[in-house]
Copies of this chain bind each other. A is one copy, B any other.
Amino acid sequence: MSSKDNLKAAFTGESMANRTYLAFAKKADDEGYSQIAKLFRAAAAAETVHALNHLQRMGGIGTTMDNLKEAINGETYEFESMYPKFIEEAKTEGDNRAQWSFEVANKVERIHAGLFEKALSEIGKNEEVDYYVCSVCGHTHEGKPESNCPVCGAPASKFEKID
């Protein structure tokens, strides 16, 4: 493999390690191991540095215009191809928990693609708006939600404002 491929593989590994340690930190806090939770958060922060170093060196960060286009492509792949296939396979297997996880993500990726497309079409004159994210399903909402999450049904109190 070339260093370019290796940077991609290392970026993947570091990205997964970061997310895994974040989950492990929450679990450690739940179990009362606050010091170990802190260590997992510290390691997660370090894996963020590694992931971003690798991403930068593999040329993975373009101009914001390019980055929006890449985001739209990625989201579109997920909601047109990846998640629909995964949802069908989960139905065939009768794996309801996996099916739910794929279905809500699928709906949210379509919304992300729309938000990125709007941002791209208005670039340089983007309207100021706050985003709120559903902590249950990831639904991404322009402005403060007044009612239940339209994707997963969670109450409006489950949304978190993004700064």
User: Which A residues have a C-beta under 8 Å from some C-beta of B?
Assistant: 1-4, 6-7, 9-24, 27-28, 31, 33, 35-36, 38-43, 45-58, 60-64, 67-68, 70-71, 74, 78, 82-83, 85-86, 89-90, 93, 95, 97-99, 101-102, 104-105, 108, 112, 115-116, 119, 123-124, 126-140, 160, 162-163
Q: A38, B131: Cβ atoms under 8 Å?
A: yes
In the complex, residue of chain B having the shortest beta-carbon distance to the beta carbon of A35: B126
> Does the CB pair A105–B10 fall under 8 Å?
yes
The 10 A-B residue pairs with the shortest CB-CB distance, nearest first, are A46-B138, A42-B131, A49-B138, A35-B126, A3-B98, A15-B15, A3-B95, A24-B67, A6-B86, A42-B162
